[in-house]
Structure 1
Amino acid sequence: MLRISKLTDYAVALSVRLAQAGDGERQAGERHQSVRSLARATRIPEPTVRKVLKTLVKAGLVRSVRGAQGGYGLARPANEISVAEIIVAVEGPIGVTECTNEATAGLCELEGRCTVQGPWQQISAVIRAALSELNLADMVTDPDQTSEPPPVRLRLRGDERRPGPPPPLPFAETLS
């Protein structure tokens, strides 16, 4: 199963909370969200909120303002911050296997002779693209809204010419 870590889930939840508060669009001098109010709103423990916010500030996704009216806010409008940026800030490069991202390329002992490296790279590219297209504004939900969010269309490279489901991936039966 492909999963994100709890800290990444918390980072997205905190970012969405900041987006709900409209912090990405606030003017200088307006009230920001405190660690305590974010912890209360998200039910994430305060020490964890501090740790996650520190990571998001370092990545340039969240800003910190000191003082009586200080706190945390989005560094850019919610529709300009992708879920992929948040994941990369906490987890590092997005890839489903070691050979599918720049940071870990070359670590797999089978990389030079692997018959499924290409398909895994395609899958990782599709996942990265989908997460890059999804922004914080898309993640903000109206509590009164009961409809399902729109589906994200995923396509493999070269798939735009073919209607219907994508063709099966060419997995090898054995690795030599």
Structure 2
Amino acid sequence: MRLTHLADYAVVMMTAAARREPSARLSATELADETGVPLPTAQKLMQKLAAHGLLVGQRGSGGGYALARPVCEISLADIVEAVEGPIVLTMCADGVNHECALDQHCRVKPHMSVVGDAIRTSLSAVSLQELAR
């Protein structure tokens, strides 16, 4: 399993955000400059992270984004899922009906959610606070 560039960038940006004061306002421009994430990508990711409740936005002068929760309450799993969607290893484990040539004979499919849950649990155990150290 490998994170996409977007998930990787989101982790880098959230880690940079976590190193600031808890109520600090963040701009995409500042985070892009600090992390090297291209500005259009930083803007897109901040909107996505806000839509998933990890950042809160404020319009107007003095506006920007801030972390929506304390850094100890945001996990690596939260960040990855905000960008990538649910953590699943195979298409058949995501709850959507996908056509698979092995479906009728597959004895692994019923157990793949266990694997995905174990990975999510592991990622959930890593807090943004730990990543920001």
Give the TM-score normalised by the residue count of structure 1: 0.69
User: Tell me, which stretches of 5 or more residues in structure 1 are unaligned?
Assistant: 142-176
Work out the CA distance in 1 between the residues paired with 2:71 and 2:16: 10
Name the SS for the 2:60 alignment partner.
Answer: coil
- Match for residue 79 of structure 1? 72
Residue pairs, 1:1-176, within 5 angstroms: 2-23=1-22, 26=23, 31-102=24-95, 104=96, 106-109=97-100, 110-141=102-133
Cα drift, residue 9 of structure 1: 0.8
**Cα distance between partner residues in 2 of 1:111 and 1:79:** 41
Contact 1:98/1:108 (<8 A) preserved: no
> Once the two structures are aligned, what percentage of the paired residues are identical?
36
Which protein has the bigger helix share? 2
Between the aligned partners of 1:100 and 1:13, the Cα distance in structure 2 is 28
How much has 1:100 moved relative to structure 2? 2.1
Letter in 1 for 2:65: Y
Letter of the aligned partner of 1:9 in structure 2? D
**Bigger Cα displacement from structure 2, 116-125 vs 75-84:** 116-125
How far apart are 1:42 and its partner, in Å? 0.5
- Work out the CA distance in 1 between the residues paired with 2:41 and 2:70: 24
1:109-147 CA-partner distances (Å, limit 9, x unpaired) = 233421222443332121011111212111112xxxxxx
How many residue pairs are counted as aligned between the two chains? 132
- Higher RCO structure, 1 or 2 (CA under 8 Å, sep 6+): 2
